[in-house]
Chains A and B, each alone.
Chain A
Amino acid sequence: MRLTVLSPLHIGDGSEITSVDIYPGDGMIFVLDTGKLTKDLLNLGIPLEEILTLLKNPPGHSYVFKGYIDSLNLNVKDYTLYTLPLIGEAGRESMRIKNFIKSNGKPYIPGSSIKGAIRTAVFYRVLKECGDTATVMDVLSNVARSANNEQRKNEQRKNIEKLKNSVGWNTHLVEYYLNYINSRLEEEKRFDKKRADDLLEAIVFGMEPDKDRGVRYEPKRDPMRALVVRDSEPIGKKHLAVYHVNIVGADVKIPTWVEALKPKTTVEFELAVDGETLRLNGNHFNGLLWECLKNYGEPSEVFEDFIWKAVDEFYGEVIKAELDEIHKHGPHRTSVSSFYKTLPEGRKLRLGWGSGWIATTLGILLRKEKKWESTRRKLGLGRKPGGRGVSRDFPKTRRVADGMPMGWVKIE
């Protein structure tokens, strides 16, 4: 398949280039060969201790090597590993640039990022269409039945029955889930908020009995196993640029720069649905997704169609939600609005850093529930920096690069 970048796309590897590694030029970032530069500085008589002291405690976090290059009239190009165009402003005193993920020095798009974006859409569609508690209780009953009669499993079966009954007190799985998170947050001070979706993921995608929560996620029982998405081919560095990202709506200005793929970059990747995996494991899959597929026919045959419809529906909703709240893009609302209104036809996804809470979560469904507001406050979503309360409006901030919302791609 072919992926075309529609707006700046940043997929990070967790590392950053800092002020000591770069020389900010005019519309250009020079990434320095600091080893070679240090060697030449020593030959020019600069004491090593001075360089080390500056590197350890840069005055005002400034560009240490820029100071030397400028004052000694050195040619920056002699010490450059590679250059990247800079879109937006450079940091006046310093800047940290989030690195794009690379393999053998060349950027690529990980298959796991593309698959993750598709998975979120499937999660959304399953909950929307099959999340009524009657269907969920059926699914849990099947799991309880399959936990056979061995002595050891009796306890587990009881736990699933308990989970099933508590789901039954609600009208929808999402409603139950918000109650569940609320009670967990009240009961346990150390509830891991980073793994708040664990139980929901297990029920939707596939599960095994578990002694604590009734069920736990089991990847081998997940039909999404059959969706094979491979890493993209390496992409030329000429498609990469440093973007100054504006975080709109934040009380404090957080200067942020990222390496991102430029719009119009195209790259090939492989995506396949493994029909044999679906057919061979038909009896093994036990989540709500598999149950939901049965509404459309033979699950292994309708799977592919289901996931693509989910993608179209979910990302269509994301665009709608962003346009509904276009005022949150502040000074960029005109450019962002025209970006969304002129998006090309075809299948679109939102990937990577800066995609925002709405595109990476089940937020569109969660926000419709009455209990959401209190739950998100307890989860600390929208907490102001410095612990100054929780924002009334969530999600409050948007990340905009070169006047565009980040992370939109088209696949065909």
Chain B
Amino acid sequence: MKFKAIKLKLKGPLTEIPHADTLFGAMATAVGVLYGKEAIDEFAERFQRGARISSAFPYEGEKLFLPKPLSAEYWLSTLPEEKIKGIPNFKRLKGAKYIPLGEFEKALRLEQFTYGELPFKRVELPKVALDRVTSSSALYFWEEIRFKPNTGIYFLYQGDGETLKGYILPALRYLADTGIGGKGTWGYGLFDIEVEDVEISVPGGEAFVTLSNTLPSEAPLLWRLFRKGGWSPWGRKPKLSFIEEGSIIGNDPGKIETLTVGGKGIYVYGLSFPLPAKLPEGLP
């Protein structure tokens, strides 16, 4: 399957690697700033009609990382003892969140795969808050994600060229200067953009692994849940239950949820980004 990989070459740290709903929300706000509020509806409509974005994942040079499919994790847990002994660093492999693209293709087919060293690390930074009456200082620590040089994050896009050129890229050029994913006022999340073609070889099958955090419209097959809220320009968003990237779903497109916050309608992106995956034995 062919996709566009949109690389965000980071200029500084990030607070978190953004999920698809964060990317969509940031781009929709940017579209509103660039073309007016009506354009946000048109932007969301294009996704309802078939355009898709994945969540962001790390990359290093040409090496792209993808989330480990839960089908492969389930498959690993069913392997017999003697096979496990033959797999080097089995525990680290089981705990890996992201794996390189080539290994991801093997994992989709439930073939033996391995992990790679990630190009980022979480660091703690000291910060000080001062009381404006007593001048008492309180030291606190802030966690951020720092990337190696020539690395960053990327997301996949599938859809028509018009949406990419007319909406996504202009929105990203705006976000490149204002930052994405929190603490923009500290200079976090600034980047340069690069677009590449990517091909992912996938097996045939009825089940799919989703590469975006998804709001499922039907029961998934293998999933991990997480609750996520956030903030819109009109107020705090209520928390919604998403399934994580790497979860296994049937033929479920997911959905874009419309919420009312502070009297204004907002879109929450929860569409799936499905890639066919082989199902391990023992699953329906």
A residues at B contact (CB < 8 Å): 12-14, 101, 110-113, 115-116, 120, 123, 181, 193-197, 200-201, 220, 225-231, 270, 274, 276, 280-281, 284, 356-357, 360-363, 366, 379, 381
Contacts and interface: CB of A to CB of B under 8 A. Distances in A.
B184 A228 contact: yes
B132 A123 contact: yes
Contact of A194 (B29, B33, B134): B134
The 4 A-B residue pairs with the shortest CB-CB distance, nearest first, are: A230-B187, A194-B136, A196-B133, A197-B132
A112 B127 CA distance: 8
Contact of B132 (A181, A201, A270): A201
B130 A360 contact: yes
Q: Which of B126, B133, B138, B178 has the largest number of chain A CB atoms within 10 A?
A: B133
Nearest to B177: A272
B185 A193 contact: no
B36 to A, nearest CB: 12
Nearest to B190: A230
A181 B132 CA distance: 13
A352 B126 CA distance: 13
29 contacts: A12-B126, A13-B126, A101-B126, A111-B187, A112-B128, A120-B132, A123-B132, A193-B136, A194-B136, A197-B131, A200-B132, A200-B133, A225-B185, A228-B186, A229-B187, A230-B12, A230-B187, A274-B184, A280-B29, A280-B233, A284-B235, A357-B135, A361-B131, A361-B134, A362-B132, A363-B135, A366-B133, A379-B134, A381-B134
Contacts of B139: 14
B235 A195 contact: no
Given A14-B139, A231-B186, A193 B233 contact: no
Interface in B115-148: 126-128, 130-136, 138-139
Given A111-B186, A201-B132, 5 more contacts: A116-B128, A120-B130, A196-B133, A280-B29, A361-B131
Contacts of A123: 132
A362 B233 contact: no
B131 to A, nearest CB: 5
Q: Which of B12, B186, B235 has the largest number of chain A CB atoms within 10 A?
A: B186
A194 to B, nearest CB: 4
Nearest to B129: A116
A118 to B, nearest CB: 12
Nearest to A111: B186
A270 B133 contact: no
B130 A220 contact: no
Contacts, number: 88
A284 to B, nearest CB: 7
Interface string B30-62: 000100000000000000000000000000000
Nearest to A117: B130
Interface of B: 12, 29, 33, 126-128, 130-136, 138-139, 178, 184-187, 231, 233-236, 262
Q: Which of B130, B178, B184 has the largest number of chain A CB atoms within 10 A?
A: B130
Contacts of A113: 128
A284 B29 CA distance: 16
Contacts of A381: 134
B136 to A, nearest CB: 4
A381 B185 CA distance: 33
Contacts of B186: 111-112, 228-231
Nearest to A195: B131
Contacts of B127: 110, 112
Contacts of B138: 194
A44 to B, nearest CB: 38
B135 A284 contact: no
A13 B186 CA distance: 17
B234 A115 contact: no
A200 B262 CA distance: 26
B187 A276 contact: no
A206 B130 CA distance: 18
Nearest to B140: A14
A287 to B, nearest CB: 14
B165 to A, nearest CB: 23
Contacts of A357: 135
Given A220-B231, A230-B186, A196 B134 contact: yes
Contact of A360 (B135, B231, B235, B236): B135
A35 B132 CA distance: 43
Contacts of B262: 284
A134 B111 CA distance: 72
A232 B197 CA distance: 36
Contact of B185 (A110, A115, A196, A366): A115
B234 A116 contact: no
A199 to B, nearest CB: 10
Given A115-B185, A225-B185, A196 B131 contact: yes
B177 to A, nearest CB: 9
A220 B126 CA distance: 22
Nearest to A226: B185
B234 A362 contact: no
